[in-house]
Structure 1
Amino acid sequence: MLSWLKQYHRDLLAGDVTAGIIVVLMMVPQGMAYALVAGLPPVAGLYASLLPACAYALFGSSMVQSVGPMAITSLMTASSLAGLAPAGSELYSAMAAQMTLIAGVVLFLCGLLRLGFLAQFLSRPVLSGFTSGAALVIAASQFSTLLGGSLKQINLPGAAIGLSSLLLLWLARQYLMRLLKSLGLAGKVADILAKMAPVFVLALAILCVLLLNLEQAGVQVVGKVPSGLPALGLPLAFGQMRELLMPSLLIGFMIFLSSQSAAVSLAQKRGERINGNHELLGLGAANLASAVSGGFPVTGSISRSAVNYTAGANTPLASVITTVLMAVLLSVPTGWMSPLPLSALAATIMIAVLGMLDFETPREAWRYDRGDALAWGVTLAGVLLLGVEEGVIVGLLLSLGTLIARASRPHIAVIGRIPGTEHYRNVSRYAVETRPELLLLRVDAAIFFGNAERISDSVLEQLQDSQRDVVLVLSAVNQIDTTGLYTLVELNRALNARGIRLNLAEVKGPVMDRLQRSDLLLSQLSGKVFLSTAAAFSALTEPDNPAATVPANPI
């Protein structure tokens, strides 16, 4: 935290200033648009783009992460508060801030408790299915606004602006960067200008409303945006705590997951490492700052962070500059925002969420692991059919269920010696030597309460009458828990009753340390512990071979 400030030098300033200016231009329309998705007044999006960026800069670990409103968390806010208060009301805004406060406190505490590893418990296919489903829900929610009113009562001028904006934004997304490069602009400049297309389209929409006096024709606009900085205060609404607690926890989890993936993606480009615990602290501080300044849940955005990085950001000072510029914009008269048509904002939202649709991950998963492809489809269906919060829960349960199922079915291979070598491989994959009196089994997972019984059963199922020794090769076993230990003791007794000895080979040092501390298994082991599989093979099939005398030291 703040280590970047100690190493800061003037050469970095130009890039940070440029990035700060460009990102604030992007955050103004984006913040207002996502506030509408959340069911809040547009100015709430500007408030949520103010202090959080600076708070993250103080605690976060990413040098170029841009924190602010995001589509998914905005949708989850609206979904959580639906039915609790009328959208846009003071109570609704207070409850949104209360949820942000809870999420911020939980994230900050998780950072202090060093729980950054939690980001690993949602698989990529499940996350992809959730974001794709959320994108479709967001796009569908904006369709009526895009048409200037509702499907039953379309406002033609409003619909014309919305559909024209949608077309222009789509064309810009597809062709603008190539066009700018063909005109001789550098790739970096062309990329920034292409990503700034929503700013230009919204400016054009404002001009159309003003020049054609479209407000008189019934075109819905943003309306009055309060100028001035937000009043600071704690949003305490204890009466709604029970209803808001679970949604806040789910939103907090999604905040961390979304931001972590964005931060890691950019850190890889810069050759940096992201500290998950510092990310939790930074995101917690950002959401606390948003809560006390009238905002709503914020997180790191991959698209906005990519613009920040491409524009030349070198350090979190770019985010501090963004905060300062946003404060300046809020301090001056904000009348220029009033004629912004809502249908044009809806178009920017719909185009933005198109980038969240991901069909490549399920396509690749179908080829690689159809279980993951099924998880993608179930999560997508959960979001579309059950709701956003329920979709998150479905995704979490699927990820944890998949993890448990895979851990409970470890890969266990019968192995033999490749002729003329000391290499041992799966008998189903290689032409290997085996001996009728010896069974070599390689366990390719930790032995714990979830799979210990299955491993024991697998050993017993492989036994043949001619065998006198079983060797468990534990080269891939990083841990044996207490249940696993007792299961191995019982396996040793079962084998001993049949006149078969249980031997261990290639036991890792940390595992051997624990086995020696307990001595429960080693004191009863009917066989021996061997340093290598080759030593076990030689000792048990060629007792006169010198290799049989190799000591059984832990690896």
Structure 2
Amino acid sequence: MSGWLGSAVKAQWGWIGDYSGSRFSSDLVAAIVVTILLVPQSLAYALLAGLPPKVGIYASITPLLAYAVLGSSRQLTVGPTAVISLMTAATIYELPEELRVVGAAAIALMVGVMLIGAGLLKAGFLMNFVSRPVVSAYITGAALLIVISQLRHIVGVDGGGRTAFSMIRNLSDQIGQTSLITVGVGSLALLSFYLARNSFAYRLVRLGVSSNMAKLASRMAPIFIIGLFITVSWAIGLDQKGLAIVGAVPSGLPPFRIPMIETSLIQSLTVPAAVIAIVAFVDSTSTAQELAARQRDSINANRELLGLGAANIAAGLSGGYAVNGSMSRSAVNAAAGAETPLSGIIVAALMALTAMFLTPLLKSLPLSVLAALIIIACLSLLDFKAIWRTWVYSRIDGVTAVATFLSVLMLGVQYGVLVGVVLAMALHIRTTVNPHMPLVGRFPGTEHYRDAQRFVVETNDQVKTMRIDESLYYANARTLEDRVATIVSENPELTDLIFMCTAVNRIDASALSSLETINNRLKSANIALHFSDMQSRVRERLFRSSFLDRLTGQIFLSQHEAMEALRPAPDWSFLDDHIDMH
């Protein structure tokens, strides 16, 4: 495993050989733009996680360095994100207040160890078990839950809660305690961030600014808006008039130490940490795959496990909390021209400088402004259209997506993805347990065979063909037996039954036993069992058994060959009375 780990590091740093000055300038510009976004976001997401602002800054330094060493994406930027922050908040909510910071660091360390272990075991294939409808619905539900959770900072009440309904109930109970100055500042911040995101670039282009400069200015606008609110808050002394502010943020680099908590707390945090690890991996890998596809590149899921695991271990050891790949910052990083992981390393250096020298400037930052920043960022993650499209296309996937979305709101963000994954797998198993097995017939004058209930096709009373639209395994073996029994009972003239196996990719031992039972039952009823369109790999596996020695029929290369061989000869007896006039 150590050799494979070394090859992962070598693969990640292969870009150094052809690095150039132009690449460095691209990485530097991208890093500056990302840092401008990351400074306020790190504070905001720490607030969302229920942690001091400095923890968000700490989580934005060493994790970037660790991911750059082992991760496979050249443009993914890791750090605090909205979804993981909300999951962290839900996890440490039950801890005593004095243990929440060290508890969050311990969770990050546990998440990192789990991901590293999965990476060493090459468990990246687990990504395949999380469907895209589940991911899309989960992100939408989590984004909506985050928006609801931040409304309390906009209106200036304590609020709180773990589910959407508890948050809304607490808000409604405390609505009489609303702070007008907080509402005013929060509403103005919401409007400012919204306009900066949606119309600022367009207006700059209308004024003659180039498109690239307009986009860059639009992305940098939030830092200027935050600077303006900090200046006004400090100049007027809004904190003395009832406006909640960030307060003093300690300067300096993050301390390196192992988070020490009681064994009983570690046990209680294990399951939530595992859920966070799953969500972090799914979310990060999805983002990395999207970025790689745009560059006609690819990522390695196992190396993503290593990189993300190393980032979380670094976060846990440096006083941060759990991190993952940020969809918004990664997209900005790519759009700003980042070409290599060096951009992430530069971001880490700039964040370190911020931690050492710039934190005193953040003291007067209103919490309602940070909440507004989170809300606007999460609004872009809401994708109800994707859930609707999934529902229209596939009811099974639609049910999974809706259940995932509602589970996030009703049970909490940490359970939503589990409900989605379990339900998706359960519905998939249910589908394969009852596979579609129609009788088929031939389109007249062709060699094409289709479902006899859907199309007007030729059929034969003595020879019937049942198409099996699923691999055969232990869960659907009895269903196959029942289906054959029904066909036999409904067709008293049947002499030959053909299994058309176009979609059968596998026949396990339980299904083989059912085929032997079916063969014996048909033999006792003087009906021969045949196979057509069987894949060579499946046929070769059958040859390992003695089933083919006892098979009453044949294996045909194609369905048409089977019908041509088994179709009864025409009955010409009605011509016996024909008189030859010649």
Under TM normalisation by the shorter chain, which class is it? Answer: over 0.9
What's the counterpart of residue 28 of structure 1?
39
Tell me by how many angstroms 1:457 deviates.
1.9
Moved more, 211-220 or 164-173: 211-220
Map 1:419-498 onto structure 2 (within 5 A): 419-463=444-488, 464-498=491-525
Aligned mate of 1:402, from 427, 441, 445: 427
1:411-448 per-position Cα deviation (integer Å, ceiling 9, x unaligned)? 22322222333222222333332222211122121111
Structure 2 distance, partners of 1:3, 1:470, is 60
Structure 2 distance, partners of 1:434, 1:180, is 70
1:197-229 per-position Cα deviation (integer Å, ceiling 9, x unaligned)? 322221111121122222332322111111111
8 Å CA contact 1:192–1:307 kept in 2: the answer is no
Matched position secondary structure for 1:332: helix
Structure 2 distance, partners of 1:405, 1:504, is 25
- Does residue 206 (structure 1) correspond to residue 206 (structure 2)? The answer is no
The one-letter code sitting in structure 1 at the alignment partner of 2:330 is: S
What's the counterpart of residue 579 of structure 2?
none
Aligned mate of 1:178, from 190, 202, 205: 202
The one-letter code sitting in structure 2 at the alignment partner of 1:515 is: L
Structure 2 distance, partners of 1:5, 1:280, is 20
What's the counterpart of residue 27 of structure 2?
16
What's the counterpart of residue 97 of structure 1?
105
Aligned mate of 1:229, from 253, 273, 276: 253
Matched position secondary structure for 2:258: coil
Aligned mate of 2:366, from 318, 334, 341: 341
Structure 2 alignment gaps of length 5 or more: 1-7, 159-174, 571-582
The one-letter code sitting in structure 1 at the alignment partner of 2:84 is: T
What TM-score comes out, normalization by structure 1 length?
0.93
Tell me by how many angstroms 1:283 deviates.
1.0
Tell me by how many angstroms 1:173 deviates.
2.7
User: How many residues are matched?
Assistant: 540
8 Å CA contact 1:126–1:395 kept in 2: the answer is yes
8 Å CA contact 1:23–1:304 kept in 2: the answer is yes
Tell me by how many angstroms 1:82 deviates.
1.2
8 Å CA contact 2:74–2:340 kept in 1: the answer is yes
Matched position secondary structure for 2:549: coil
8 Å CA contact 1:4–1:315 kept in 2: the answer is no
Matched position secondary structure for 2:457: coil
8 Å CA contact 1:223–1:339 kept in 2: the answer is yes
Instruction: Label 1:181 to 1:411 Cα distance change in 2 as closer, same or farther (>3 A).
Output: farther
What's the counterpart of residue 41 of structure 1?
52
What's the counterpart of residue 305 of structure 1?
330
Aligned mate of 2:85, from 65, 70, 74: 74
Map 1:184-203 onto structure 2 (within 5 A): 184-203=208-227
Instruction: Label 1:271 to 1:188 Cα distance change in 2 as closer, same or farther (>3 A).
Output: farther
Matched position secondary structure for 1:479: coil
Tell me by how many angstroms 1:187 deviates.
3.6
Structure 1 alignment gaps of length 5 or more: 545-555
What's the counterpart of residue 500 of structure 1?
527
1:31-81 per-position Cα deviation (integer Å, ceiling 9, x unaligned)? 110111111101111111111122112212222111111111111111111
Aligned mate of 1:125, from 133, 148, 165: 133
Instruction: Label 1:144 to 1:255 Cα distance change in 2 as closer, same or farther (>3 A).
Output: same
8 Å CA contact 1:188–1:310 kept in 2: the answer is no
What's the counterpart of residue 301 of structure 2?
276
Matched position secondary structure for 2:503: coil
The one-letter code sitting in structure 2 at the alignment partner of 1:32 is: L
Tell me by how many angstroms 1:92 deviates.
0.8
Structure 1 distance, partners of 2:155, 2:337, is 38
Computed over aligned residues only, the root mean square deviation of the Cα atoms, in angstroms, reads 2.0
What's the counterpart of residue 216 of structure 1?
240
1:138-173 per-position Cα deviation (integer Å, ceiling 9, x unaligned)? 222222212244544333333322110011112223
Structure 2 distance, partners of 1:94, 1:106, is 18
Structure 1 distance, partners of 2:554, 2:211, is 65
Tell me by how many angstroms 1:6 deviates.
4.3
Matched position secondary structure for 1:336: helix
Instruction: Label 1:297 to 1:532 Cα distance change in 2 as closer, same or farther (>3 A).
Output: same
The one-letter code sitting in structure 2 at the alignment partner of 1:71 is: A
Tell me by how many angstroms 1:543 deviates.
8.7
Instruction: Label 1:6 to 1:516 Cα distance change in 2 as closer, same or farther (>3 A).
Output: farther
8 Å CA contact 2:27–2:342 kept in 1: the answer is yes
Aligned mate of 1:531, from 540, 551, 557: 557
- Does residue 361 (structure 1) correspond to residue 386 (structure 2)? The answer is yes
Structure 1 distance, partners of 2:432, 2:61, is 45
Tell me by how many angstroms 1:19 deviates.
0.8
Structure 1 distance, partners of 2:397, 2:217, is 37
The structure with more radius of gyration: 2
Structure 2 distance, partners of 1:142, 1:115, is 36
Moved more, 382-391 or 308-317: 382-391
8 Å CA contact 2:134–2:417 kept in 1: the answer is no
Among the aligned pairs, what percent are the same residue? 40
Structure 2 distance, partners of 1:462, 1:188, is 67
Structure 2 distance, partners of 1:115, 1:542, is 54
Structure 2 distance, partners of 1:189, 1:406, is 52
Runs of 4+ in 1 over 6 A off after TM superposition: none
Moved more, 472-481 or 116-125: 116-125
